Chains A and B, each alone.
Chain A
Amino acid sequence: MLEMILISSAKVIAVILAVLTGCAYATYMERKVVAYMQHRIGPSYAGPYGLLQPLADAVKLAFKEDIVPDGVERITYAIAPIASFVPAMLIFAVVPFSSDFTFFGYDIPGVISDLNIGVLYVLAMTSLGIYGIVLAGWSSPSKYSLMGGIRSSAQMISYEISYGLSIVGILIIGNSLSLTDIVSQQASESWLFFGNWYIVKQPLGFLLYLVCAIAETNRAPFDLPEAESELVGGYHTEYSSMRFSMFFIAEYAYMIGVATVGTTLFLGGWNGPFLPPIVWFVIKVFMFMFFYIWLRATFPRFRYDQLMQFGWKVLFPLALLNTMGTAAWVVLFG
């Protein structure tokens, strides 16, 4: 019993540390990649190639003055960053990051908790993440924050449906809600190592997942809740210091979260030849993140009504079509 608790705690701590480091270096990666895409150099002073930049940023943010503006709803204002941060971190509890491995003679499963409703759990956590943004917008005495909060709640409600439906195809084929099961279904012994990945069987589902995940995480080109050209900073306009950085970390943790879940669902998780599972997993997540940043550097922001139209009139019918098509396929040929 004690052994089990110790192993689990160690895994939790390791995953949290990995995710936080990942968040820090995702900011570095974003700045560097976007810089090169725009023919700039990006951060280059702190350490070799600017590699210590995230550390410098963290120190800077931690030492900033924590300003609470007049007229905020104090309790909600204090809760909001936490409500944004916690669900983002909780996603990683069910993501299988590696196959089971042995460590100093102990057999350790490569996932913190193999929930048999893992997919639902992920959906629940992503949908809870919206509260941080909404509450931040509500509690700040600022029009920009309120606008950002309203936009984000409307956006996330709209895209969450398509986000959930884009996964249903996999559930119909795989017949399981456990992420560990879904990964093991995608394993393949043949030379065509990606033949069983769900991206092959569910290409439309994958595209829908990709688009909806970007909208769910409020990333460009769907970053209307924090559109800096019209809303200053959106929901976090009135936040400073560590509270601001919690929103910032939460946003990147969400990005990594949907990237890991997308990897698990569509790209075969940790499956892959030659390299150890964890390396494959990191490579795939990295590709996901790169794609995100690439999109940000490529596309301009949508207008708000375009975003809503796109969500309800394009993505939602396509997601329904994908679900029905997959169901029909499984019934007729499966």
Chain B
Amino acid sequence: MSKTSKTGEESVISIRNLRKSFGDLHVLQGIDLEVKQGENVAVLGRSGTGKSVLIKIVVGLLKPDSGSVIVLGQDVERLTAKEMDAFRQKVGFSFQSSALYDSMSIRENLEFPLVRNIRNLSRADINKAVEKALDDVGLSQTINQMPSELSGGQRKRIGIARTLILNPEIMLYDEPTSGLDPITSIEINNLINEVRERINATSIIITHDLTCAKTTGDRVAMLLDGKFERIGPFDEVFADPDERVRQFYNYNFIN
């Protein structure tokens, strides 16, 4: 499935002059990014350059050293614990490692956020929501399995299904295709586009897989030396003669 753009004018994620260091390691050194309603932005960059740190700050898992992060009109850093819980229901986060709860079955994994965020749901409603979320990612048959019984691609899909169960407005994907074979990667890319079409989600996709970036992103943002040096449509960014950008392109497309 190819991406279909329904991008609005309203800025849903607004990041200004964001800085984050870990000791002497300065990973983010003044990030600026605006993501519009319904837009998919793929963030590219080398490993260890702070791509995942960026979306962890967006969802409030990490605190920035300075700068502002406004998501859905709320300053993430100033949210109280209660406001943060409500905010996180609107933001889906797909982890690089899938982060499925090992001790729970797939059904329990999907029920976990649902029963804790939406009170007074009947057993029938819960079952219906779980079955629909699994059906949406094409894995209904795994409902009673344990995470350890699934393949890497299936785990990623279940991880995405678990976040979709709360009908988020924003999706953050951390390396959705890492460690997967090319065919499974294509399936995940298609799923990201399907999710976007189905719930009109605004997404940030962290990746160093250029096929993923090209297939799913309306724009790509290239993180170089702690800053977004290039932001724009895929072909425009990779038309740049900058050696660092060329290296990235050539490696992925075997030129």
Do A and B share a complex? no
Query: Which residues of chain A have a CB within 8 Å of any CB of chain B?
Result: none
